[in-house]
Amino acid sequence: MGHDVPMSKKIDAALKDLKKALNKHAEAVGGRTVSLKKSQRASARVAAAATAYAEAVHAKSGLGNPFADVLEPGLEATTLASLSAERDKLAKSLTGPIETQNAAG
């Protein structure tokens, strides 16, 4: 479905650039060794290509950014909230009043 409908030239060009950037990124981070400089450069190209794609989609259709819900990899929000609460509880117990012992007279 949709393969017989011609795509906007700007969206098609942005899609090709995004695919190329993703392939370069995969090459940069998928090998045995990962060069920090190359991977950062590749990540920046992916971000720029994704932005260009989202802008082309918005210009043509008025739709929002298709990447808006993409999150940073890592822990889920509920896990982060739980860990933060535990950290705060520990900090309170460690920084509360310090009991002193009376010296034996």
Report in angstroms the alpha-carbon separations of 79 from 15, 74, 84, 85, 104. Answer: 35, 10, 9, 10, 48
Residue 90 lies in a domain: no
Residue 40, domain extent: 1-68
Q: What is the per-residue burial (b if ≥16 Cβ within 10 Å, else e) of 68-100?
A: eeeeeeeeeeeeeeeeeeeeeeeeeeeeeeeee
Number of structural domains the chain divides into = 1
Residue 88 lies in a domain: no
Residue 22 lies in a domain: yes
DSSP-derived letter for residue 1 is: -
Please, which pLDDT band fits residue 67 given cuts at 50, 70 and 90? Answer: confident
Residue 78 lies in a domain: no
Please, which pLDDT band fits residue 99 given cuts at 50, 70 and 90? Answer: low
pLDDT at 56: 93
pLDDT score of 1 more than 50: no
**pTM for the complete prediction?**
0.63
